[in-house]
Amino acid sequence: MENNSFHERYHRQIILKEFGTTGQNRLKQAKVLVVGAGGLGCPVLLYLVAAGVGTIGIVDDGLVELSNLHRQILFNTADIGKRKVDCAEQLLAKMNPEVVIRTYPYRMDTSNTLDLIEVYDIVIDGTDNFQTRYMINDACVLLDKPLIFGAISRYEGQVAVFKDPINYRDIFPNPPQEGEVMNCSEAGVLNVLPGLIGNLLANECIKLITGIGETLVGKLQTYNMLNNSSFTIDITPTSLSSALIPTDRESFEATDYHYLCNTDKMFVNELNKQQFLSLLENEETDLVDVRELGEQPTLNGFHHLRIPLSSFDKHISLIKKDTVVFICQSGQRSKLAARRFEELINQGNKKVFSLEGGMLSLRDML
């Protein structure tokens, strides 16, 4: 009976000549760890569970928020405030009770990552920050696990499959500094993009497990949803990359991924909202919005200059006052602007600040 329902549930993929019962059994045997139950993780989980991957782990320490719902399609309005992994597990178990789902409601760090990954065959990275991405990459190299990588930026997405001898550091050996690259809460994202990219990740995963078709092993594909173009490059192993990756558990656990991607190196004075408001009241200040023109919401009610980061150097001379506060969407790019300003013209004779949390921290005032 179980065998019958097994065949019936997966009938349409089992009748595919290349896939067959062999492919289905391979899926059933497979253990896949999905890191991040966000825009990318949701479609990945839906399709892998529906396809009949035997065991699926979900790592996410987040709670469902209203602003997730347009793209994180495992969750509904009644889930707001609940743990993502619990909501995901509930829905996925109903969808396909044959799949074993394990949930990990915490953040991966160097103390738990290796143990977590070790029991899985494949890892899918759908996280939203470089700190975790570099850590997962290094852990997969160390444990020799294939890593399926997905990331998005506005209307474009990147997909790659890393497998010995190739890893993410063969493209980008070192992490960018915090603030250098915007995440979705800053840059925005149209909901179908993570849907499309997430499905590409699920597809790579199914091909990798079943052995059908060609995977993106050793390639990085960039997909642009606005013009449907895709651009695929070849990745070759570099000696630099292997020199940067911890070679054993001890050195992995001792690596400070937070520091590698982080601001501690930037030395920018940050203001919280209260300090910011009192500064504006008490000092002649140039408030500079460094977001690109057209980014929303506008900084209504505050006298300010607009110098987008993309043309920052050219218009830097517009800044005249002795106290300067840079602001952006979430407080990342403004730190970059503050650092650049210090580098270019300020010799310590002006007071330079960045507003912590950016526009998002002023939400209730605009």
Partner 1 sequence: MNVSVLFFGQITDITHCSHTVLTDIADTDQLDERLHAAYPMLKQIKYVVTVDRKIIRENVVLLDNTEVALLPPFSGG
Binding site residues, partner 1, CB under 8 A: 36, 38-41, 125-130, 133, 150-154, 156-158, 170-172, 174, 176, 180-184, 187, 189, 194, 220, 222, 231-236, 238, 240, 292, 308-314, 336, 340
- Closest separation between CB of residue 283 and partner 1, Å? 28
Looking at the Cβ atoms of 93 and 187, the one nearer to partner 1 is 187
- Closest separation between CB of residue 97 and partner 1, Å? 28
Looking at the Cβ atoms of 27 and 122, the one nearer to partner 1 is 122
Sequence-distant (6+) residues with CB within 8 A of 120 are 31, 32, 33, 55, 57, 145
Looking at the Cβ atoms of 55 and 224, the one nearer to partner 1 is 224
Looking at the Cβ atoms of 52 and 178, the one nearer to partner 1 is 178
- Closest separation between CB of residue 95 and partner 1, Å? 22
Looking at the Cβ atoms of 229 and 278, the one nearer to partner 1 is 229
Q: Of 296, 277, 300, nearest to 356 (Cα)?
A: 277
Looking at the Cβ atoms of 13 and 199, the one nearer to partner 1 is 199
- Closest separation between CB of residue 176 and partner 1, Å? 5
- Closest separation between CB of residue 203 and partner 1, Å? 17
- The pair phi, psi for residue 131, each rounded to 5°, is -55, -50
- The pair phi, psi for residue 283, each rounded to 5°, is -130, 150
Of the chain, the end-to-end C-alpha distance in Å amounts to 62
CA distance 334 to 343: 14
- Closest separation between CB of residue 289 and partner 1, Å? 14
Looking at the Cβ atoms of 23 and 126, the one nearer to partner 1 is 126
Looking at the Cβ atoms of 234 and 250, the one nearer to partner 1 is 234
CA distance 354 to 273: 11
Q: What separation in angstroms does the CA of 28 have from each of 20, 48, 199?
A: 13, 11, 19
The SS3 of residue 274 is: helix
Q: What separation in angstroms does the CA of 226 have from each of 156, 157, 246, 293?
A: 8, 11, 39, 20
- Closest separation between CB of residue 85 and partner 1, Å? 15
45 close to 34: Cβ distance less than 8 angstroms: yes
54 close to 29: Cβ distance less than 8 angstroms: yes
- Closest separation between CB of residue 284 and partner 1, Å? 28
- Closest separation between CB of residue 221 and partner 1, Å? 11
| Pairs from 16-20 (Cβ < 8 Å, separation ≥ 24) | 18/212, 18/213, 19/210, 19/212
Supply angle C-alpha 243, 332, 334, rounded to 5. 125
- Closest separation between CB of residue 174 and partner 1, Å? 8
| Pairs from 295-303 (Cβ < 8 Å, separation ≥ 24) | 295/329, 297/359, 297/366, 298/366, 299/327, 299/359, 299/362, 299/366, 300/366, 301/365, 301/366
CA distance 336 to 188: 19
Looking at the Cβ atoms of 96 and 113, the one nearer to partner 1 is 113
Looking at the Cβ atoms of 314 and 363, the one nearer to partner 1 is 314
CA distance 230 to 85: 32
CA distance 34 to 353: 39
